[in-house]
Amino acid sequence: MTMTDDNGTTTAAASGSVPYTVPRPPAVIDAAVWPGIAALPAGFRADVAARIAAGIFKAAVRHLPLEVRYPDGEVLGSAPAGAPVMTIHRPGDFARRLGDGGLIGFGESYMAGDWDADNLTAFLEVFAARAGTLVPEPLQKLRALFLPRQPRSERNSLENTRSNISRHYDLSNELFATFLDPTMSYSSALFPSAEGAVRNSDRDGFAAAQQAKIDRLLDKAAVGPGTRLLEIGTGWGELALRAAARGATVYSVTLSSEQQELARKRVAEAGYTDAVTIELKDYRAVEGEYDAVVSVEMIEAVGYQYWATYFQTIERLLAPGGKVAIQAITIAHDRLLATRTGYTWVHKYIFPGGVIPSVRAIEEVTEQQTGLQVRERLAFGEHYAETLRLWEERFMERQEEVSELGFDAVFQRMWLFYLCYSRAGFASGYLDVQQIVLDRKRSAPGRGAAL
């Protein structure tokens, strides 16, 4: 349940975890830091849009398995016992943001403190499970006319990509350390069981599950003594360390200066400086030949316009007989087609320029525009839901430390919304995560086919 004290502080609980306190933003939000949150949409158009948005929202939630509570006592939803509860503190502000920004405004209204939920993930999961049907079909056909499109300045061209990556990954190594496991792995773990039964107190188990994910990728790419390994997307260095421990020579590229700094430090401390090179470089600028290419949840930052370039680059760099192993978040193909050009709350606040691929898109791009071919896939979306649960718990446990790093209550609500929003996607099946193994087609004339 949600409990709100006299100061407006909301206590919520993630599924299967202990309650935590969700910070409330200050009465006056810093407009210099949060221009999209501090000011409410105003004017005649905003008035009309707010009334329309309020009506559409109420109609949408009226028959959903949840409960929406308004300050005047109105309660909406078709809630069974234990269903998630949304409490709207400021209905007018909520409607204005929703009317002005749609789903972007929905996320911004949470950041502003217009509403809370007793179990944010469960609440968002109700919507994620119905993402393709919540909006009536006639209105879906008009979505392209009304929804904002990704700005050209955020396309992942050679000129823009560094900025896009920096906006997320260069926030602060210390921030990421507050919620990641000791391996500093920022991608789905692979737990021993399908249920992912690791718990918050089992921190060693979480790190082991992250290493199991890495080891499986290295195994599938046949990484061992003497392997020349290219890693696209360094993260904070755990994969490079584990590959070097196998006797591989690793060349890893990243566009995050913060990640490069910490990864290099970890490599030096482990004694693998001679075996691991970490460069600040775009994957398209890499030269050389490698026996294996591994990339963990980096394709999501490539942009759909550049997926062919991404795989063509891998093919160019792959030695005869080499193998490729990538880990990718995926989405159903019909949802990809419906959303790939849209501009969302996640783009605006978390991952500028990002587009999640479908398995079909990966298979079509590699089949039609490269000499590579998908050989094997492992889907484990439920493991990502569990990973995100643990990140959420760890982040909320350390709110005081996050505040001391300079990240205010609005940021903390933003980050919580991001973690729960993502977890809801995996828990509902709207999103999945795959380990995908590729190599060259057995006959690809002119493409260096393996004999």
178 plus 120 within the same structural domain: no
Residue 91 sits at the vertex; the CA angle it makes with 88 and 96, to the nearest 5 degrees, is: 125
Which of 157-166, 339-348, 400-409 has maximum average pLDDT?
A: 400-409
State the pLDDT confidence band at 134, using cuts at 50, 70 and 90: low
- 139 has pLDDT over 90: no
Is the torsion defined by CA of 374, 380, 174, 121 positive or negative?
Answer: positive
Helix H or strand E encompassing 262: helix 257-270
Residue-wise pLDDT for 206-253, tens only, equals: 999 999 999 999 999 999 999 999 999 999 999 999 999 999 999 999
Residue 10 has what pLDDT?
52
More confident residue, 58 or 16: 58
65 plus 176 within the same structural domain: no
What's the whole-number average pLDDT of the chain? 88
26-40, 263-277, 339-353: range with lowest mean pLDDT: 339-353
Span 292-297, mean pLDDT? 98
347 plus 425 within the same structural domain: yes
177 plus 209 within the same structural domain: yes
Residue-wise pLDDT for 86-101, tens only, equals: 999 999 999 999 999 9
246 plus 132 within the same structural domain: no
343 plus 427 within the same structural domain: yes
Strand arrangement, sheet containing 19-22: 3-4, 10-13, 19-22
Which residue segment(s) compose the domain that 173 sits in?
152-440
For 353, the token pair is 């320029």
CATH number, domain with residue 162: 3.40.50.150
410 plus 319 within the same structural domain: yes
Residue 339 has what pLDDT?
85
State the pLDDT confidence band at 158, using cuts at 50, 70 and 90: low
String of b and e for 106-123 (b: at least 16 CB within 10 Å)? bbbbbbbbbbbbbbbbbb
Residue-wise pLDDT for 187-218, tens only, equals: 999 999 745 454 444 556 999 999 999 999 99
Residue-wise pLDDT for 403-443, tens only, equals: 999 999 999 999 999 999 999 999 999 999 999 999 998 76
Span 291-310, mean pLDDT? 96
Residue 68 has what pLDDT?
96
Domain membership flag for residue 451: no
Domain membership flag for residue 354: yes
State the pLDDT confidence band at 445, using cuts at 50, 70 and 90: very low
Residue 129 has what pLDDT?
87
22-31, 159-168, 263-272, 349-358: range with lowest mean pLDDT: 159-168
Of 107, 130, 146, the residue at which a domain comes to its end is 146
Record the pTM. 0.89
CB atoms within 10 A of CB 273: 12
306 plus 340 within the same structural domain: yes
Alpha-carbon torsion, ordered 299, 216, 258, 308, to 10 deg? -20
166-180, 185-199, 273-287, 308-322: range with lowest mean pLDDT: 185-199
Strand segments, DSSP code E, in 101-224 are: 115-117
136 plus 168 within the same structural domain: no
Span 24-37, mean pLDDT? 93
Query: Would you put residue 296 in left (φ > 0), alpha (ψ -120 to 50) or beta?
Result: beta
Looking at the chain, the whole-number percentage of residues with pLDDT higher than 90 is 75
Domain membership flag for residue 445: no
Of 127, 146, 165, the residue at which a domain comes to its end is 146
113 plus 209 within the same structural domain: no
Residue-wise pLDDT for 104-117, tens only, equals: 999 999 999 999 99
Closest by CA to 414, choosing from 25, 41, 124, 21, is: 25
Of 112, 146, 180, the residue at which a domain comes to its end is 146
221 plus 110 within the same structural domain: no
Domain membership flag for residue 8: yes
- 4 has pLDDT over 90: no
Domain membership flag for residue 447: no
Give residue 62's Cα distance to chain centre.
29
Residue 8 has what pLDDT?
43
The domain total for the chain is 2
State the pLDDT confidence band at 40, using cuts at 50, 70 and 90: very high
Residue-wise pLDDT for 52-63, tens only, equals: 999 999 999 998
State the pLDDT confidence band at 256, using cuts at 50, 70 and 90: very high
Domain membership flag for residue 398: yes
Domain membership flag for residue 122: yes
